[in-house]
Amino acid sequence: SVFTLDQLQWCTVSDKELSKCSDMSKAFSKARILPLLTCVRGVSASDCMSMINARVADVAAVDGGTIYQAGKEYNLKPVVGEAYGQDVGTSYYAVAVVRANSNLTINSLGGGKTCHTGINRTVGWNVPVGFLLDSGRMAVMGCEIARAVGNYFSASCVPGASGDGYPASLCELCKGGVDGRGKCEPSSKEEYYDYMGAFRCLVEGAGEVAFVKHSTVAEATGGQAPPFWVQQLQADDFQLLCRDGNKAAVTEWRTCHLARVPAHAVVAREDTDGSLVFQLLSQGQQRFNAEGSDFQMFSSSAYDGKNLLFKDSTTELVPIMEQTYQAWLGEEYLHAMRGLDCDPTRLPPFLRWCVLSTEEIWKCSAMAKAFKGKNLKPEIQCVSAESPEQCMKGIQKRDIDVVSLAGEDIYMAGETYGLAPAAGEHYADKDTASTYYAVAVVRRAVADAFTIYELKGKKSCHTGYGRMAGWNLPVGFLLRKGLMQPQGCSVLKAASAFFSASCAPSAKIEDYPANLCELCVGDGKGNGKCSASSQELYYGYTGAFRCLAESRGDVAFVKHTTVFENTEGNNIDSWASHLRSGDFQLLCPNGARAEVSQFANCHWGQVPPRAIMVHPDTNPLAVYGLLDKAQDFFGDDNNRNGFKMFNSTDFQGQDLIFKDSTVAIVPAAESRTSSSWLGQQILESLEGLRSSQCSGAAAASMNFFLLLIQALVLLDATLHDP
């Protein structure tokens, strides 16, 4: 513990603060409060954090932004918090205020006119900008945050955002003083500066939304002598924008805000005993917080300063129980800080993109050239690999930066290699090929009335072994729920023992259980039985459904559109032309049955879009920011900029780098882990599949990879199947 040293070194950032600190040190020592408090001088709050880390200082009281950086970079922890009395205790709230008749919501702020307390200030800038960035509403390229804000809003007043590197629109709505001077200065010369100024900017109609704190509207409209510019307005002439897109009265700030802003806190190294720091300060505040005592801990007036060591509004210091920076900052504020956490000097100069085929290399090279031509940052470099898994390994070792992956690869990338989604593909709303529901189709007939609990011993039709809707999701789910019993280390054996007979077409696999091919028919002339190709009539979605429709099987594992594509005359082949969708039903995983149209509530998992995955230390917002800017130029298939992001025709391929059906790249937003990207249901099924492959043994995990690779080969074969 630090108290094996006999002193606690407080880090200060100005001469005034140093002078207050040395008075505090003298006062404490005179009062025999131990350990001895000493003072050191740092240059800035962040400098103090690195001094504490380097053990040349021990503690300092800092704001939320600094607590975030210190926690992330040096693992420093908050140990004592400031409390400000009233009913908000140790925090306040950052809110977005609009006129009560405004149409704006948090989701339509893009293109709006905004009023901010000042550049880099907590509620006026850091929280709203961080929130918009982190949630993916606003994109930033190359960590140029001010430019991103300038592009996102049509005009703003952000006092202090003038000069180099700041777009002119950030000062456009500012007013200056009565004499017209001081426009956009971060001082009272600018009438729209600070909380009251930002609110005035809204009241006077310059902006449509003001980023202020929870008490600002009440303070302006409710006082004895409201400022003249408030005119006759009342608090209920205004509303708050909530994070979820709703609005609420200005009194509802506890539930409708952008973030709870944590109080300042004293931070210390991981190995410092926080309770001893509190004991020291607790004794101090008992002696030196009263009116008239010779030293005043929470006042800075004797030093001609403000908020020295502690904020002047502090009423008491409180111990922090859960000493992690995440717990102190809270989820909302933490995410806003994460959104702002983009340091251009830490961006890689190149983003190394993993590609898997010659055609992909061609497209990737064209993409790199096209992006560079538009000065997009970071630049792209193309790195080729043999398999998706090699890409994942390369990213884990940081030899590669980015790869785009589908379904079970996303699972492996997250579980085995710790990668995270940075962005994802988005397909047209009516596009049911790119993301779809996996369903289990059965015949409606009373004689066939069974549920998943009676599935054992039934005859099954699968699109193919190792495929998502046809195999992985149903078999994984049945294993996971304990309905299907694991057999040794083999999922194949488990499935073979569960179903009495099946058709699960596959590539040649040694010891492939015979009954998994029993229902297959090949090409009807004795060739290609059970092969994972169009030779097998029961292969693929349509084939598996045909296997059911021709009463070979009792259940078909397909996707939600398959029934509709092959009934009501939509498929004129003789086996399908007479089929009615009403003759079929779905088996739900919860044991119920549902109509085929109710797939959204009766499915075995929704296959997610492909994800663009990165190392967890790669800034996902920078990757999304690049692609978002890029799609402005190259996203539209009719663009005239010489490259099409979502079309592979020019490179003699399909779905190269991105799926051709992609209409936009979207941010990962809330889905920052592979598990949340896949969703609970898919995750559980894939876990079910994996956990029955004899975990622990190296050979077994190898087996798992082989299985996945086979699945890939199959998928690949499907894609190239005419």
Cβ atoms of residues 676 and 670 within 8 Å: yes
Do β-strands 379-384 and 501-503 pair in parallel, antiparallel, or remain unpaired? unpaired
Binding site for ligand NAG (CB under 6 A): 101-103, 119-120, 160, 637, 647, 649-650, 660
Q: Closer to ligand NAG at the Cβ: 164 or 386?
A: 164
Residue with tokens 């420093």: 76
CA dihedral 235, 239, 242, 247 (to 10 degrees): 130
Residue with tokens 């809110």: 95
Q: Closer to ligand NAG at the Cβ: 116 or 443?
A: 116
**Least Cβ distance, residue 614 to ligand NAG (angstroms):** 23
CA dihedral 456, 462, 467, 473 (to 10 degrees): -30
Q: Closer to ligand NAG at the Cβ: 160 or 609?
A: 160
**Least Cβ distance, residue 649 to ligand NAG (angstroms):** 4
Cβ atoms of residues 466 and 705 within 8 Å: no
Q: Closer to ligand NAG at the Cβ: 98 or 318?
A: 98
Q: Closer to ligand NAG at the Cβ: 105 or 435?
A: 105
Q: Closer to ligand NAG at the Cβ: 120 or 718?
A: 120
**Least Cβ distance, residue 130 to ligand NAG (angstroms):** 12
**Least Cβ distance, residue 646 to ligand NAG (angstroms):** 8
Cβ atoms of residues 545 and 441 within 8 Å: yes
One-letter amino acid at 188 equals S
**Least Cβ distance, residue 65 to ligand NAG (angstroms):** 9
**Least Cβ distance, residue 206 to ligand NAG (angstroms):** 15
**Least Cβ distance, residue 660 to ligand NAG (angstroms):** 6
Cβ atoms of residues 539 and 505 within 8 Å: yes
End-to-end CA distance of the chain: 70
**Least Cβ distance, residue 616 to ligand NAG (angstroms):** 23
The number of beta carbons lying within 10 Å of the beta carbon of residue 569 is: 11
The number of beta carbons lying within 10 Å of the beta carbon of residue 210 is: 30
Residue with tokens 């492996």: 412
Q: Closer to ligand NAG at the Cβ: 340 or 422?
A: 340
> How many whole angstroms separate alpha carbon 306 and alpha carbon 298?
10
According to DSSP, residue 486 is labeled P
Cβ atoms of residues 44 and 65 within 8 Å: no
Report the alpha-carbon angle 252-258-264, nearest 5: 100
Q: Closer to ligand NAG at the Cβ: 425 or 536?
A: 425
Q: Closer to ligand NAG at the Cβ: 152 or 417?
A: 152
**Least Cβ distance, residue 119 to ligand NAG (angstroms):** 5
The number of beta carbons lying within 10 Å of the beta carbon of residue 353 is: 22
**Least Cβ distance, residue 637 to ligand NAG (angstroms):** 4
Q: Closer to ligand NAG at the Cβ: 140 or 708?
A: 140
The number of beta carbons lying within 10 Å of the beta carbon of residue 136 is: 19
Residue with tokens 């994802």: 424
Q: Residue 300: which of 80, 528, 14, 68 has the closest Cα? A: 14
